[in-house]
Structure 1
Amino acid sequence: MKGFYSLLGIVYMVTTSFYFSGENSNLKKEVYLDNTKTVATNTFKKDTKEMSSSEELYNSILFENDHKLNFDVFSKAILGFNNLKKAGKLDESAHLLTVCDFSISSNTKRLWVIDMNEKKVLFNSLVAHGKNTGEEFATNFSNIESSLQSSMGFYITESTYNGDNGYSLKLLGMDKGFNDAAYKRAVVMHGADYVSEEFAAAHKRIGRSWGCPAIPRALTEPIINTIKGKNCLFIYYPDQNYLSSSEWLREA
């Protein structure tokens, strides 16, 4: 009998060990799944928060329906703007953002000056690209002197002067290898008679500069006087090499 009871004891120990082992295994699985859900939830909340912040600002800005800045372009401009602030290139109080979307026709108003505090568009204007950058559409960009091409990327606006093209605004290129030669090349914002709807109607496109983001004569002083003195200008083009290598477009 003793042998029989001993055998029963061994069987009981073996069967219960499997039970508790399975229970612990299930418990570990539940803890693991809970931790995975927590990480996924926190990541989702972070991404959603960042996205909603950008979308919320975008949706609060009163764009004209016919001339609405593309959200993807806006989000990149905001990312660069914030990174420039973090790097101390812009003052903490800076709230003006100028965006030129060179992915669309030069016959459309593709420049926006946005006051992000007031959440409104101060100016929406035509803007020219360089002579060797393209005809109606921009296709080629350069950072080389005498190329007569536009340079994509982020700029910091500086001081004004009166030159061959009249009232002009100096620009400091912030993207190494893409527009950091702008100051040396004398790539500036200035007014031009060829940046007008009348010129576009007569020539099927507005005129082109030597690489400068030229704007209409009538808006030269109002725009330049608004954005001069350490504000952000972003010239956008969907060039994958630029988008993947610009230090200002890196997520924190």
Structure 2
Amino acid sequence: MKKLILCMSVAFTTAFSYNVNAKEDDNNAKKVASAAASTNKAQTIDEYITSVYNAIDFGGKKLAYDVFKKAYTGFLNLRSAGQVSKNILSIADFSQPSTAHRLWVIDLVSKKLLINDYVAHGQGSGDLYATKFSNQAQSHQSSLGFYITDGTYVGKHGTSLRLRGVDQGYNHSAMSRAVVIHGANYVSNDAVAGMGRLGRSWGCPAVSNSLAPKFISAIKDGSVLFVYAPQKDYLSSSTWLNRACQVPNGGTL
């Protein structure tokens, strides 16, 4: 009888130990699978953005990949949040001097570069390069971040385009500051030849008078504009840059 009880006790202990170990193995397997899935997910979105970039016809010009990746990440997150109604992405790359064609407008459906031209920064942001940025009224500085284009109006610069800043703390005052897209005569080859740089706005991403109608028509009413500069505080805290984004269903917009 004692032998029987001892055998049953050993069998129970063995079975219990097996079940515990099996559960632990199962949990560990799930953790490994979850970690692998997260890694694969990150790789998948990186691969997707790279494939989109490589598919764009830049017409012999080339926007820096790192700038495009940031802009496109924000675009995807804004699109997922229901804030985008036009698959056009505009980028003002303020890491470049104002003498460069640092404005890029891309049709993300046809994968074509629509515009590559001058864009001015605010007079409070710097001379040849924009190095200071502000969300404050009367600063006359450009504001970094993502904008959603709104409607047009006719003002002192002719037809202009309102911008809604969607990066809280960085450009959310765009409407109240009247930061808009407009044409200006200080954005031209003549300005560059005379001053060695473009003229500057009061914070608006101003373009040439000749480009303004085409640019505004292409991007108005719900597209994304990304004003970029390599500013660590902004890059580390922007909601739209740091939210995990997803590959669109089917891999297309």
Out of 61, 67, 77, the position equivalent to 2:71 is 77
Match of 2:12 in 1: none
Using the alignment, how far apart are the partners of 2:31 and 2:80 within structure 1?
Answer: 32
Larger Rg: 1
Using the TM superposition, give the Cα deviation of residue 33 of structure 1 relative to its aligned residue in structure 2, in angstroms: 9.1
Match of 2:57 in 1: 62
Matched to 2:185, the amino acid is D
Using the TM superposition, give the Cα deviation of residue 42 of structure 1 relative to its aligned residue in structure 2, in angstroms: 3.4
Counterpart mapping for 1:18-29 below 5 A: none
In the alignment, does 2:82 pair up with 1:88?
A: yes
Match of 2:7 in 1: none
Matched to 2:158, the amino acid is G
RMSD: 2.8
CA change 1:247–1:198 in 2 (3 A) is same
In the alignment, does 2:194 pair up with 1:199?
A: no
In the alignment, does 2:95 pair up with 1:103?
A: yes
Task: Give identity over the alignment, percent.
Answer: 46
Q: TM-score, normalised by structure 1?
A: 0.83
Using the alignment, how far apart are the partners of 1:36 and 1:86 within structure 2?
Answer: 28
Match of 1:244 in 2: 236
Out of 34, 43, 49, the position equivalent to 1:48 is 43
Out of 180, 204, 208, the position equivalent to 1:216 is 208
Using the alignment, how far apart are the partners of 1:251 and 1:153 within structure 2?
Answer: 14
Using the TM superposition, give the Cα deviation of residue 64 of structure 1 relative to its aligned residue in structure 2, in angstroms: 3.9
Using the TM superposition, give the Cα deviation of residue 44 of structure 1 relative to its aligned residue in structure 2, in angstroms: 3.6
Using the alignment, how far apart are the partners of 1:36 and 1:231 within structure 2?
Answer: 40
SS of aligned partner of 2:57: coil
Counterpart mapping for 1:5-44 below 5 A: 38=33, 41-44=36-39
Out of 181, 184, 190, the position equivalent to 1:189 is 181
Matched to 2:175, the amino acid is Y
Using the alignment, how far apart are the partners of 2:79 and 2:213 within structure 1?
Answer: 26
Structure 1: state its 5+ residue gaps: 1-26
Q: TM-score, normalised by structure 2?
A: 0.83
* Range that drifts further, 192-201 or 35-44: 35-44
* Range that drifts further, 33-42 or 130-139: 33-42
Matched to 1:105, the amino acid is P
Q: Deviations over 1:54-77 (max 9, x none)?
A: 000000001144x42111111111
Matched to 1:178, the amino acid is Y
Matched to 2:66, the amino acid is D
SS of aligned partner of 1:218: coil
Using the alignment, how far apart are the partners of 1:202 and 1:168 within structure 2?
Answer: 26
Task: Count residues with an aligned counterpart.
Answer: 237
Out of 139, 151, 161, the position equivalent to 1:147 is 139
SS of aligned partner of 2:234: helix
Match of 1:4 in 2: none
Runs of 4+ in structure 1 displaced over 3 angstroms? Answer: 30-44
Match of 2:159 in 1: 167
Using the alignment, how far apart are the partners of 2:136 and 2:37 within structure 1?
Answer: 45
Match of 2:171 in 1: 179
* Range that drifts further, 53-62 or 71-80: 71-80
Using the alignment, how far apart are the partners of 2:165 and 2:39 within structure 1?
Answer: 35
